[in-house]
């Protein structure tokens, strides 16, 4: 049997490991108690000391730091771009410059490390204002606001290093795009590129898309309002020119490229690229994949991605349960009720899988470990069936201060 190493410890890596384990021996480093409870082998060993037929790197930080390059230099087959390609996510200014060269539609923007210049751009703009950290900020570095005062304050906080440390030492200020947002994740084998099913993430913390941005409070797939023609349009206008420009720069991009796209009245525009699987989009995408995920990811890593992966008909929904205080500082150590010893629903339901994002297992059962805690994922013949199952399961789980949206997948798709 083939063997795969997955690098990471969150809900996304739990979902990848769960799907890969259907056909392959899986090792996760460092993994989590929730994965272990489900019988997935986890180790604290460095990926550099492990041997496998394929390495799948989950989070952006090791990709930006060049882990894929180091593993490839050891002769390993790796799913995930090198540090050169990972700059698309590691630096918004790099991404924006590349988009401009490749003629990819995106929001107008300016990049600043000087407060006076940033304030001058804000003064020229109309509300709403969008302010981002240039560097990595786990999805939380973006402020969208109607208040010029709040925008100026945010620029000041970011540039001073107070709110996001070095990631905010320069800021990107953008035109606000209006429309429906969609996550189109594509696989790229260095030459060929194929889309996965379109998904939607729910970024704001509270119902009705209110409150601050988070890493994502829930997800659905497929996003039915995004037709095949719209996917083809995003591929043609956004993804393909980007990959052509990467190749032109000598960058051999192998892995997943996550295009966060705003579907505006003037056509699709790129909001952001991530160089890794989305979290929680991956949870709904892998729940629906009918092909062998190991074969798909190895073919991508190996430059042999001849066929697009196949998916089951039907839909998937993920609802996130986060710790009190999320997306700010969160509490930890609160007992979680409703889970069995295997970290799954105490009353098992085979349409539902619980991916663990921030839990610890103690002698008395699972407790919260801060941030996003659990990703309750359900599949169904329709979106509403998947949604009902996901919420039915989520409502059987509880812990003190749990933060959960009640409107995931209610008006969308």
Contact flag: residue 365 with ligand AMP (CB under 6 A) = no
Q: Which is nearer to ligand AMP, 260 or 343 (CB)?
A: 260
Q: What is the DSSP string of 192-238?
A: -EEE---BEE--EEEGGGEEEE-S-SEEEES-TTS-HHHHHHHIIII
Site string for ligand AMP, 253-272 (x = CB under 6 A): -------x----------xx
Q: What is the DSSP string of 113-165?
A: SSHHHHHHHHHHSPSSEEEEESS--TT--EEEES-HHHHHHHHHHHHTTTTTG
The distance of closest approach from Cβ of residue 260 to ligand GLY in the complex, given in angstroms and rounded to an integer, is: 7
Contact flag: residue 278 with ligand GLY (CB under 6 A) = yes
Contact flag: residue 216 with ligand GLY (CB under 6 A) = yes
The distance of closest approach from Cβ of residue 204 to ligand AMP in the complex, given in angstroms and rounded to an integer, is: 8
Q: Which is nearer to ligand AMP, 143 or 187 (CB)?
A: 143
Q: What is the DSSP string of 3-53?
A: EEEEEE-SHHHHHHHHHHTTTSEEEEEE--HHHHHTT-EE--S-GGG---S
Contact flag: residue 131 with ligand AMP (CB under 6 A) = no
Selected range binding ligand AMP among 76-84, 171-179, 237-245, 353-361, rule: CB under 6 A: 171-179
Choosing among ligand GLY, ligand AMP, none, which partner's interface includes residue 370 (Cβ < 5 to 8 Å by kind)? none
Binding-site size, ligand GLY (CB under 6 A): 7
CA-to-CA distance for 2 and 296, rounded, in angstroms? 13
Contact flag: residue 174 with ligand AMP (CB under 6 A) = yes
Selected range binding ligand GLY among 37-45, 49-57, 272-280, 359-367, rule: CB under 6 A: 272-280
Contact flag: residue 201 with ligand GLY (CB under 6 A) = yes
- According to DSSP, residue 310 is labeled P
Cα–Cα nearest to 375, from 277, 295, 231:
277
Both tokens of residue 280?
């929680």
Cα–Cα nearest to 198, from 259, 240, 107:
259
Residues forming the site for ligand AMP (CB under 6 A): 107, 130, 132, 139, 142, 144, 174, 176-177, 181, 203, 213, 260, 271-272
């Amino acid at each position: 049997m083939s063997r795969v190493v997955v690098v990471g410890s969150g809900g996304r890596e739990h979902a990848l490991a769960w799907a890969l384990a259907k056909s392959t021996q899986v090792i996760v480093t460092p993994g989590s108690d929730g994965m272990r409870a489900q019988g997935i082998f986890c180790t604290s060993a460095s990926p550099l000391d492990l041997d496998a037929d394929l390495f799948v790197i989950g989070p952006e930080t090791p990709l930006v730091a060049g882990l894929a390059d180091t593993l490839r230099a050891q002769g390993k087959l790796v799913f995930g771009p090198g540090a050169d390609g990972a700059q698309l996510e590691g630096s918004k200014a790099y991404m924006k410059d590349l988009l401009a060269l490749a003629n990819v539609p995106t929001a107008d923007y300016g990049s600043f490390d000087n407060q006076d210049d940033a304030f001058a751009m804000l003064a020229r703009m109309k509300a709403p204002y969008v302010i981002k950290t240039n560097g990595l900020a786990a999805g939380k570095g973006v402020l969208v606001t109607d208040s010029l005062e709040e925008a100026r304050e945010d620029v000041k906080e970011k540039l001073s290093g107070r709110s996001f440390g070095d990631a905010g030492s320069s800021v990107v200020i953008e035109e606000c795009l209006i429309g429906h947002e969609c996550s189109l994740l594509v696989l790229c084998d260095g030459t060929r590129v194929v889309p996965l099913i379109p998904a939607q993430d729910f970024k704001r913390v509270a119902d009705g898309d209110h409150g601050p941005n988070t890493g994502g409070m829930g997800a659905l797939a497929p996003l039915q309002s995004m037709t095949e023609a719209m996917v083809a349009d995003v591929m043609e206008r956004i993804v393909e020119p980007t990959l052509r420009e990467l190749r032109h720069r000598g960058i051999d991009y192998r892995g997943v490229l996550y295009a966060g796209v705003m579907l505006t009245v003037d056509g699709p525009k790129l909001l952001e690229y991530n160089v890794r699987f989305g979290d929680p989009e991956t949870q709904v995408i892998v729940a629906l994949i009918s092909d062998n995920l190991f074969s798909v990811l190895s073919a991508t890593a190996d430059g042999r991605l001849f066929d697009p992966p196949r998916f089951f008909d039907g839909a998937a929904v993920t609802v996130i349960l986060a710790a009190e205080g999320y997306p700010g500082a969160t509490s930890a150590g609160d007992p979680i009720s409703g889970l069995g010893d295997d970290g799954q629903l105490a009353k098992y339901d085979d349409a539902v899988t619980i991916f663990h994002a921030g839990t610890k297992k103690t002698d008395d059962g699972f407790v919260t470990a801060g941030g996003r805690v659990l990703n309750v994922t359900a599949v169904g013949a329709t979106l509403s069936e998947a949604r009902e199952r996901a919420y039915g399961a989520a409502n059987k789980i509880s812990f003190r201060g749990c933060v959960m949206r009640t409107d995931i997948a209610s008006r969308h798709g």
